[in-house]
Amino acid sequence: MKNNLFGMKKSKYINEAALLLMTLIWGATFVIVKQSLNDASSMLFISMRFSLAGIILFFILLYRKQKLIKEAVLPGIILGVVLFLTFATQTIGLKYTTATKSGFITGSCVVMIPIFQLIIEKKTPRKGVSIGAVIVFIGILFLSSRGNSLPNLLNEVGANFNFGDGMTLMCAIFCAIYIVFIDIIAPKHDFWILLFAQILVVAILSLIASLVFKFTLIEPLRINFSPYLIFGVLYTGILSTLLTTAIQTKYQKFVSPAKAGIIYSFEPVFAAIYAFFLLKEKMSNFGLFGCALIFLGLILSEVFDSNISNKGKLNGAG
């Protein structure tokens, strides 16, 4: 009996540690992508990242002797389009905002998910998420400020909200929509076909977008194969795309959604830590307060509803 309990606890810690490792990998991505954009145009970088992931995945599918399931192709394309919009807005946003702000604003998608569940799946948002969403919104206002003193509070809060922040907020919205679509589509179709279709769609759309951006003068098509760019493509293509997807698929099903949400909430914190040590990014006092509010909102939205759920289960059992 004791051995079984020890084994269950050990397995539990391994599952949660795996998700925390995935969050660490995600956190570093903001800094790596921001630096990589010095050597490549935004859409071209996304195309290289997903093309590498797609090539590796193609050989994995060959090794697995994976059969093509036609019914999963169209849903995979739909997911791929939304995923492309998520990465496109985030990557463009990183050109004009800091890695720290990008991490926290992107992380706000956690409290947006129930909003789109209400719109798309007709699921009513939980109270904890509603409270968290308000706190996160206030946090984003403070995060986008440039002030340090209370006398200038009204004039400074939100005054530093720029184009990059706006694009990153769009990224959080698309990310929330993507997660809701995953919830609807993934259980009905083959995982590997969905994954490959998504990666292929993002690679193709980002390549097309890079050409469109060039001819419409939105962004010149540029690439400099520097050691850092090569590292950035390898890191994001292999670790941030393939490895994290594998970890999430294998381990998240053994962790409660509430606990997984809390673990994922640490992503912007890790992004801020990486940005501070690697890019020397600094924030105003209001910005730091905004980060704290966003993190608080993310945690409260999970813990509050987790406690209500647990109480409900206890009352029901009694």
Neighbours of 286 (CB within 10 A): 25
**Length of the chain, please?**
318
| C-alpha dihedral sign at 203, 183, 22, 272 | positive
Query: What's the confidence (pLDDT) of residue 9?
Result: 54
Closest CA to 267 of 109, 131, 143: 109
Q: Are 292 and 139 in contact (CB under 8 A)?
A: yes
Find tokens 């919009």 and name the residue: 85
Instruction: Report the C-alpha gap between 235 and 261 in whole angstroms.
Output: 24
- Please list the rounded mean pLDDT of every run of 10 residues in the chain (318 residues): 51 82 91 93 94 93 88 91 94 88 82 81 73 78 64 54 88 88 83 89 95 87 92 94 82 70 78 85 77 80 58 39
pTM: 0.80
Query: What's the confidence (pLDDT) of residue 313?
Result: 38
Q: Are 286 and 157 in contact (CB under 8 A)?
A: yes
Instruction: Report the C-alpha gap between 12 and 55 in whole angstroms.
Output: 33
Q: Are 272 and 103 in contact (CB under 8 A)?
A: yes
